[in-house]
Amino acid sequence: MIGKTTLPQMWWPLMGRPSVKLPYCPICGRTSPLEQHHPVRRGAGKLFDANGREVRKPTITLCGFGNNRLDADGAPYCHGLAHEGRLHFRWSEVRGLDTSLAHFPAPYEGGHWEYLLLDEGCDYLTALGMDGWRRLL
């Protein structure tokens, strides 16, 4: 039986993209604590390809643990910022070969992750319409 896609279409461009696993947070540079963040929530639904295979959800290394917002000194954890809608991720397609992405296996030579860090939280669709997106790596 072929699976039924239940994932909202706004998340489809992020699905099946490469996960980013690093020994540091690519947003702030912290080396601990670290965990993998799901840009597409695990409970957001599922996406199936034309052959009925489930498309995997990528993860990105961020500092923090759980949904904790602040460390003991009051500095924000990036994972907490993501969960409060202040840190968003999107996949950007690139025209032509981008040799700086050689560490990503094909077919990802044509794109990269970008992030948007905000002072106040907002929903993903609102964030997509904003300026200020930066390349993750």
The 10s digit of each residue's pLDDT in 53-100 is 999 999 999 999 988 999 999 999 999 999 999 999 999 997 554 444
- Three-state DSSP at 112 gives strand
Ranges of each domain in the chain: 9-135
Provide φ and ψ at 78, rounded to 5°.
-65, -35
Q: How many helices (H) and strands (E) does the chain have?
A: 2, 5
- Three-state DSSP at 82 gives helix
Please report the pLDDT score of residue 60 as a whole number: 98
DSSP for 4-19, written as a single string? PP-S-GGGGGGTTPPP
Going by C-alpha positions, the residue among 51, 73, 50, 61 that lies closest to residue 21 is 61
Residue 132 and residue 90 in contact, taking contact as beta carbons nearer than 8 Å: no
Full-prediction pTM beyond 0.75? Answer: yes
Q: Is the pLDDT of residue 113 over 80?
A: yes
Q: Which residue has the higher pLDDT, 55 or 102?
A: 55
